Amino acid sequence: MDVAIIQMLVFLAILFLVTGIHAVIRKESETLSGTKPLVFRVFYNEIGMVGKMTGPWVDHAFPLQAVRVRNDLIAAALPLEVAEIRGLQGFAGALLGAVTCILTFIVSMNWAYALLSGVFFALLGWYYPVSWVARLATQRKDRMSKSMPYAIDLITVAMEAGQDFGAAVRNLVNDGPHGPLRDEFGVTLRQVELGKSRIEALKSMSDRIQLDEFRSLVTSVIQSSEMGASISATLKIQAEEIRRRRFQRAERQAARAPSLMLIPTALFILPSVFIIIFVPIMIRAMNSGMGKYFNQ
């Protein structure tokens, strides 16, 4: 009885530890100029030291991943460097692996289980920061993609009312709906006010948010400016094109749903159906005197 209570308490301690670390890691920046996530402020020295030791080696071993992490950090608007992500990978992997190994050995008193669980959680801690940054970048790009048609419509209406492109963007930044796209337009507007050309600022914004829809929009605006065409008409066409692409993307995702349902159906639903159908048949067969055939 005492052993069961101790094991239960150890399990709860591990559960609370993993939940707490997960909550700390999920703490993220809210704006472009926001502070670093909480875990990087709490373990600043440890993450920096591990990043300096393992960062160059890991970037050299996985160059494509380093480029992807750098692009995801820009898209997620996180004030971090790739070396800091590498430091968090090493720190989280070492910490989770060591703690899990010790706690598993206390519960099971078996070094094999302890080492196996330690290696598993170490790999989990090593992989999670990269997936966390990628998830934040994907979520932020999805939010900007959803709000882009409405933002373009606001700019178009303001330009049709007689304002130029810069004034229309300023109205969007001042009075538009809150979100990452509004923040990015605010950065672009400040760059223009500091002396950067409108085309260069829009290209920089396109490189930051990394959306194909916005790259197409910037290309169309540049071509309209060079040819002397109406920018408001171009923006209206681009807004409709973005809505059409979103609708087609939703249709493709809906078409993939049946194929994605095959895996959980085959793994969980079909075995349950077979158990429900065949187990009563087997029980009746064994009770009817056919059990001796199953025992042979």
CB neighbour class for 234 (10 Å; exposed up to 12, middle 13-18, buried from 19): buried
User: Residues 27, 130: one domain?
Assistant: yes
Domain boundary among 255, 271, 287: 255
Examine residue 290 and state whether it is found in any structural domain, yes or no.
Answer: no
Examine residue 87 and state whether it is found in any structural domain, yes or no.
Answer: yes
pLDDT value of position 5: 63
pLDDT value of position 28: 43
CA distances from 285 to 165, 253, 295 (A): 81, 47, 12
User: Residues 74, 40: one domain?
Assistant: yes
pLDDT value of position 31: 40
CB 51 within 8 A of CB 129: no
In the block, which residue shows the tokens 């199953």?
294
Examine residue 270 and state whether it is found in any structural domain, yes or no.
Answer: no
Examine residue 286 and state whether it is found in any structural domain, yes or no.
Answer: no
Torsion, Cα of 24, 134, 183, 159 (10° steps): -160
Quote the mean pLDDT of the chain.
81
User: Residues 170, 222: one domain?
Assistant: yes
User: Residues 129, 28: one domain?
Assistant: yes
- Top-confidence residue, 67 or 242: 67
Find the mean pLDDT for residues 229-256. Answer: 80
User: Residues 95, 155: one domain?
Assistant: no
pLDDT tens readout for residues 178-224: 888 888 988 888 888 888 888 888 888 988 888 888 888 888 888 87
pLDDT tens readout for residues 243-290: 888 888 778 878 887 777 777 777 777 777 778 888 787 777 777 766
pLDDT-based confidence at 147, cuts 50/70/90? confident
Distance between CA atoms of residues 195 and 149, nearest Å: 28
pLDDT tens readout for residues 30-81: 444 457 787 888 788 888 888 888 888 888 888 888 899 999 998 888 888 8
pLDDT exceeds cutoff 70 at 294:
no
CB 6 within 8 A of CB 13: no
pLDDT tens readout for residues 70-122: 999 988 888 888 888 999 998 988 888 888 888 888 887 888 888 888 889 99
Widest CA span in the chain: 93
User: Residues 166, 113: one domain?
Assistant: no
pLDDT value of position 68: 92
User: Residues 79, 206: one domain?
Assistant: no
Domain boundary among 255, 273, 288: 255
Tokens representing 116?
């196996």
Give me the domain span that covers residue 14: 2-139
pLDDT exceeds cutoff 70 at 132:
yes
Structurally, the chain folds into a number of domains equal to 2
Examine residue 260 and state whether it is found in any structural domain, yes or no.
Answer: no
Helices (H), 77-164: 82-108, 111-160
User: Residues 130, 153: one domain?
Assistant: no
User: Residues 135, 172: one domain?
Assistant: no
Distance between CA atoms of residues 56 and 67, nearest Å: 13
Examine residue 41 and state whether it is found in any structural domain, yes or no.
Answer: yes
Distance between CA atoms of residues 238 and 153, nearest Å: 10
User: Residues 80, 165: one domain?
Assistant: no
Examine residue 174 and state whether it is found in any structural domain, yes or no.
Answer: yes
